């Protein structure tokens, strides 16, 4: 028998979800088997999987020691990543980070240790704001993501409550994201709200765009405004009104103005200047909360942006 006390970052989540995160080596089916057999008690009482945990709850666990031992081992893989970050804004709950093109947001098979989330965890560990030994299941996390070769603002949550609030606000479109991009050519209209449908090819990691709805398609809405143009290239501001894979890249290519440097969607065919990355930057974010935002109410209607001088393709436009 072992006991665990529920801490602030563990509260307000379902019991079964907490167990899956805390005992990551335990098969999901076994988690539910332990719950069915009443091997997990909350404050000494039997409890079902959907119970919402509260700070201070004490779990009594009658499970195999091997699962405790497996999760007890220190695994500070994030310390291998750099701890240097370009910080746009930081407070006790969140961080806004200026991710540079070429940096991945989460680990993948190609990059075993360096990622933006690992850098955030390393940074907060060095500041004394994150100690894995004091957490049961939570670790600082990214709220949104952008492609490896796209730069710009990524939100990081320092605690579980901030993560929950921001996930909900992004889902309800109460966080507005604005991008700057360099287009090949010039759109027919200086500003417009584009509507189309997309289907993603998972194997090719590429989307196809259609003017009408197809089986399995998803609607995408993209608002843009041309800031300047010399005919060859156009600098435009884009606001995402939906959040689809490669939305800006695919949608602008669909209207005949692919992003400079975007080989996947046709930019290199029209851009002989050898751009290393697609010319796209998430440069501004607005917390347009329409309802209660809990501990993040102080961010309501606040707007943050990166210095345009730091955006690599702005020079000379």
CATH number of 178-282: 3.30.2350.10
Distance CA 205, CA 144 (A): 19
Which contacts of 57-60 are long-range, i.e. CB under 8 A and separated by 24 or more positions?
A: 57/5, 57/6, 57/11, 58/3, 58/4, 58/5, 58/6, 59/3, 59/4, 59/5, 59/6, 60/1, 60/2, 60/3
Strands 206-210 and 303-305: unpaired
pLDDT higher than 60, residue 316: no
| Per-domain boundaries in the chain | 2-72, 77-171, 178-282
Query: What whole-number distance in Å separates Cα of residue 303 and Cα of residue 194?
Result: 24
Condensed to tens digits (0 to 9), the pLDDT of residues 88-103 reads 999 999 999 999 999 9
pTM of the entire predicted model:
0.80
With respect to CATH, is domain 77-171 assigned 3.30.2350.10? yes
Least-confidence region, from 188-192, 261-265, 267-271: 267-271
How many angstroms separate the CA atoms of 237 and 247, rounded? Answer: 14
Distance of CA 183 to the CA centre of its chain: 25
Asked if domains 2-72 and 77-171 share a fold, the reply is no
Res. 73 pLDDT band, cuts 50 70 90: very low
Half-sphere exposure of 19 (CA within 13 A, CB side): 30
User: CATH assignment of 2-72, given 3.10.290.10, 3.50.40.10, 3.40.50.720, 1.10.150.130?
Assistant: 3.10.290.10
């Amino acid at each position: 028998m072992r006991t665990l006390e529920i801490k602030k970052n563990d509260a307000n989540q379902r019991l079964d979800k907490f167990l899956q995160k805390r005992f990551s080596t335990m098969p999901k089916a076994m988690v539910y088997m332990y719950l069915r057999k009443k091997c997990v008690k909350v404050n000494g009482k039997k409890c079902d999987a959907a119970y919402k945990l509260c700070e201070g709850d004490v779990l009594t666990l009658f499970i195999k020691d091997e699962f405790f031992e497996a999760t007890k081992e220190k695994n500070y893989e994030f310390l291998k990543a750099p701890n240097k970050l370009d910080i746009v804004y930081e407070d006790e709950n969140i961080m806004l980070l200026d991710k540079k093109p070429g940096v991945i947001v989460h680990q993948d098979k190609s990059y075993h240790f360096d990622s933006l989330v690992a850098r955030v965890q390393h940074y907060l560990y060095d500041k004394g704001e994150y100690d894995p030994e004091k957490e049961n299941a939570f670790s600082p996390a990214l709220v949104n993501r952008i492609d490896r070769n796209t730069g710009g603002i990524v939100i990081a949550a320092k605690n579980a409550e901030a993560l929950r609030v921001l996930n909900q606000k992004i889902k309800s479109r109460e966080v507005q994201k604005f991008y700057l991009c360099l287009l090949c050519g010039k759109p027919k209209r200086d500003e417009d709200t584009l509507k189309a449908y997309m289907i993603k090819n998972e194997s090719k990691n590429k989307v196809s765009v259609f003017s009408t709805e197809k089986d399995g398609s998803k609607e995408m809405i993209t608002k843009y405004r041309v800031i300047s143009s010399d005919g060859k290239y156009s600098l435009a501001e884009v606001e995402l009104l939906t959040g689809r894979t490669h939305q800006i890249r695919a949608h602008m290519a669909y209207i005949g103005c692919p992003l400079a440097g975007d080989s996947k969607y046709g930019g290199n065919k029209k851009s002989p200047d050898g751009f290393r990355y697609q010319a796209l930057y998430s440069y501004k974010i607005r917390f347009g909360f329409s309802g209660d935002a809990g501990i993040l109410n102080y961010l309501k209607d606040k707007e943050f942006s990166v210095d345009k001088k730091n955006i690599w393709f702005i020079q000379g436009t």
